[in-house]
Amino acid sequence: MSPLPDPAATPNFAVIVMGVSGCGKSTLGSLLGAALDAPFLEGDDFHAPEAVAKMRAGCPLSDEDRWPWLDRIGLAANAAVATHGRTVIACSALRAAYRARLHAAIATPVRFILLENSRERLLARLASRANHYMPTSLLDSQLATLERPGQDEDALILNTDADPAALRDAVLHWLR
């Protein structure tokens, strides 16, 4: 793993905040985007309507559902980097193959931040969310699918019991 130097000295990069639903990807991603003066891309916004309907109905997504979604995220990331030099993305990126696909699609250095917590804490967070299509019933399938990043991946793993601002600061320190 080779952390990025000062973001001012390395203008082109992407940071992907990953993990299962309810772990805090969007919260941390938006904080990082503001701190890095980078566009924040919400991965949920790139799901096809059919995939959203499938999840809303309590059906886990298949790889066939996820590949085009990951490709759309990669295209959006490239556009953001071309315009702004960097971007921060919230994307579950649960499997190594999904992260490899994102690496291949994004034409700039990519760093991953895995957010994790206990199943009980994640369930509580999911239950407290309003107006989101992801039911709590899908958490177990996401946890079963999750492949923690290996030592060969540029990834930082954080427990989300810390305050979001403290998590942001830990990521900024790691990136530098």
Token code pair at residue 130: 């309003």
Residue tagged 């295209």 (tokens): 75
pLDDT interval class at 3 (50, 70, 90)? very low
Give the CATH number for residue 37: 3.40.50.300
In a domain, 168, yes or no: no
pLDDT digits (tens, 9 = 90+) for 128-145: 766 656 667 778 888 999
In a domain, 115, yes or no: yes
What average pLDDT does the structure give for the chain?
88
Q: Are 142 and 94 in contact (CB under 8 A)?
A: yes
Q: Are 35 and 168 in contact (CB under 8 A)?
A: yes
Euclidean distance between CA atoms 105 and 88, whole angstroms: 15
Residue tagged 């399938």 (tokens): 141
Considering its fold, how many domains does the chain have in total?
Answer: 1
In a domain, 10, yes or no: no
In a domain, 170, yes or no: no
Order of strands across the sheet that contains 86-90: 40-42, 86-90, 13-18, 110-116, 155-159
The confidence score (pLDDT) of residue 61 equals 87
Report CA 93 to chain centroid distance, whole Å: 6
Q: Are 14 and 89 in contact (CB under 8 A)?
A: yes
In a domain, 5, yes or no: no
| Residues spanned by the domain of 99 | 22-163
pLDDT digits (tens, 9 = 90+) for 56-108: 888 888 999 999 999 999 999 999 999 999 999 999 999 999 999 999 999 99
In a domain, 12, yes or no: no
In a domain, 156, yes or no: yes
In a domain, 58, yes or no: yes
